[in-house]
Chain A
Amino acid sequence: MAKKISVPLTKEEKRSNVIRRILLICLLVSMAILFVELVDNKFTVDYRSIMDVVFVLLWAVMAAEAVLRVYKLAAGGSFSDYLKHNKAEFLWLVLFPVILVCSFLLPGMAGWRWLVVLKMPNVFARYNDENVFQIIVKIAAVFLILIFVLPFFNLVAVAISKPGQIVNLLPKNIDWEGFKYALTDMEFLRSFKNSIFITAMGTIGSVVVVSLAAYPLSKPDMPLKRTVMIFFMIVMYFGGGLAPMIILMDTLGLMDTIWALIIPGWMSVYNMLLMKGFYESLPPQLEEAAKIDGASNMYVFLKIIIPLSKPMVATIAFFQVVGYWNSYGSALYYISTRKDLYPVPNYIRNFMAMSPQSVTDMNPTLAFYWNNVEKSYLLLSIIPIMCLYPFVFRFIKGGMATGAVKG
């Protein structure tokens, strides 16, 4: 049993404990002051000068500690040793008073006060660095989590608050009219239906095409393997561009049909490489055993390989679902007159490009709830992806998704 052993601290240790805490507080408060001065224009000149004075005092405490420490070392005769290992701190000690004075005299140099952060390593080095590291990293991580999550809170808050007020993170005067409108808007629901159809057909087709094509490529003895590989790889790095594609679609008669949004996406070389990498990682013995029993290639693929590849197929299917669901380019290129074929992103894009004034006469409710409706569309379009995300998260985290990037 690991029991915490407490050893009574010596007087020396207690003193250094106090000093390092004071220094940390000084440093953090002085940086907080600088930050507040940076982001805030509201404080009056009085407040600012008080903060300046506090900053100088805090800095003076830190400097006094450093000078005392260096003086002690110098008295002990080990000053040259100190200089050898702590050139940076010494330089800071000499330069910072000059910079501070200059920063008060020349307004342009006020930013130079931020150089106080150079004191940080010295302060942190007094703590057990594993703990300090953990604290910093966790603060940063929480900050990042907020950055990733808060925009959604804002979106939800705007979507369900009564229009005409300033809403930040929490909804005010909750009003579901926007959502109700979005959920009863037939055109939006039709685009939703289109998107579901495109995504379903696209994903099924793509999984079939990709898992078939990758299988022969994963065989080490497959004839002409290199040629076929190059044939596919060229496509990954070079293409004809938009104009030939539009003319081609026109010639094929796919223009203004929903299949124009589905078929071109079926073959994804990147996903094929992912799949190939996965097939290659399967133990070859399974196949060999079946072959010895006289199984055909077809049988091996359907009865042995496919059942084993479920996780990878799921990952690729998810990528394809995301790709098809989110794609707005192809509808932009290949659908010009049949607006009823628009998938969700294009419907939203069109909606965002319009202004509420254009519908004031026809549909005053929509004009009034314009913002709420727009945000509701956005939120509704995210929901299907969010429902699938938890299932795929573990595959992503396992690094499976990066299999093709050899690393």
Chain B
Amino acid sequence: MKKQKSDIVIKPSFGKQMKQYGNLFLFYIPAIVLVVVFSYIPMAGIIMAFKKEPNLLGSSSAVQGILNADWVGFSHFKKIFSDPDILRALRNTLIISAQKIVILFPIPIVMAICINEMRGKVVKKSLQAVMYIPHFLSWITISGIFVTLLNYDRGIANNVMQFFGFDRIPFMTSNDTFRGVLVVSAAWAFLGWNTIVYVSAITALDRDLIEAAKIDGASKWQQIIHVTLPGILPTIAVMFILRIGGIMDAGYDQVLAMYTPYIKESGDILGTYTFRVIKEAGLMPQYALGTAVGLFNSVVGLVLVLSGNYISRKLFKRGLW
């Protein structure tokens, strides 16, 4: 630590701080080593996105292979906007994300308000006890559960539909219904968990305001609309901006767990496309193309998160950092 950048005023000088806390730098070591190795070094691999496919088998080391590959500029990125498969994956990503946001974003807010207002302990406690469970299950398990529920021949959903005189539907393998399955299973998995933020926001509200509104004769509906909702509006806004920031991730783990070739048309998202290109291409993994698609995805996501954070700081004085 040669850089002696002394801080001004009240704070003790850098040297003094170092004397007091210097040995605490040891605490960082494992974390920093892990972050450098498993996060920053892979970031250097991004140069593959601007190069030809590296010849990994024919080079002395992977690094040599990557460095020796010829530069191709932005041609991989041009491919993103011309290749029909990638374009379809991009479109699916955006559609699935949008469906999830529109349908699933408001529900936890309503649930949180209802849970907060609910009297009596039995129903409230049991709801809270069961609604977090799906969040702790693997997507493989959830996908297994939904495969069971939606099975064409024996699934309970189709049994109920048949009882009421409808035709059986192959939910998991039909392009018409697969996105619906994604939204419903995401709802089952996350709604309970997502209410936590709002419940704690409501709990932090001033209870006196609601009491005052009650005394003024506000009905339940009016209390919610005029007191509770405005109170948690900043939380809602921050969560919404965050959600928009995550629009490029349509639920990669989920889709990968439920993916079958039948629903390629409606369910192939950028994440699963990259996975296929890299991992399921047999002996010819397209590392460069995969990196380019991944980079495009995360840059768009990053831009959205940053601008969302900026807006949220401007409007609500709250952000991620």
Alpha-carbon gap, A264 to B34, bound state (A): 7
Among A167, A221, A223, the most chain B Cβ lie within 10 Å of the Cβ of A223
Q: Are B31 and A148 in contact (CB under 8 A)?
A: no
A241 touches B295 (CB 8 A): yes
A297 lies within 8 A of B42 (CB): no
Segment touching A, from B78-86, B92-100, B114-122, B174-182? B114-122
Q: What does the 1/0 interface line of A77-105 toward B look like (CB < 8 Å)?
A: 00000000000000000000000000000
Q: Assuming the A-B contacts A40-B165, A210-B31, are A345 and B290 also in contact, with contact meaning beta carbons closer than 8 angstroms in the complex?
A: no
B298 touches A241 (CB 8 A): yes
Contact B62 A349, beta carbon cutoff 8 Å: no
Known: A125-B219, A145-B127, A152-B145. 7 other contacts (CB 8 A): A151-B149, A221-B12, A239-B39, A244-B46, A251-B61, A345-B138, A407-B235
B159 near A129 (CB under 8 angstroms)?
no
**Which of B12, B17, B220, B302 lies at the interface centre, i.e. has the most chain A CB atoms within 10 A of its CB?**
B220
Q: In chain B, residues 22-58, which have Cβ atoms closer than 8 Å to a Cβ of chain A?
A: 22-25, 27-28, 30-32, 34-35, 37-46, 48, 56
Interchain CA distance A142-B305 in the complex, whole Å: 37
Contact partners of A154 in chain B: CB under 8 A: 145, 148-149, 156
Considering the chains assembled together, what is the distance between the CA atoms of A231 and B39 in angstroms?
11
A242-B278 in contact (CB<8A): yes
Interchain residue pairs with CB less than 8 A apart (13): A129-B219, A137-B114, A138-B123, A239-B43, A245-B38, A246-B285, A267-B30, A267-B38, A298-B23, A393-B132, A402-B200, A406-B318, A407-B204
Of A61-69, A177-185, A324-332, A357-365, the one touching chain B: A324-332
Cβ of B39 and Cβ of A240 under 8 Å apart?
yes
A residues 229-278 near B (Cβ < 8 Å) are 231-233, 235, 237-248, 250-252, 263-264, 266-267, 269, 272
Neighbouring B residues of A345 by C-beta, 8 Å:
138, 140-141
Query: Residue on B with the closest CB to A143?
Result: B127
Q: Is the interface of B mostly helix, strand, loop or mixed?
A: helix
Please determine whether A235 and B138 come into contact, CB atoms closer than 8 angstroms: no
Q: Spot the interface stretch: A7-15, A23-31, A281-289, A375-383.
A: A375-383
Please provide the chain B residues from 131 to 187 with a CB less than 8 Å away from any CB of chain A in the complex.
131-134, 136-141, 143-149, 154, 156, 159, 163-166
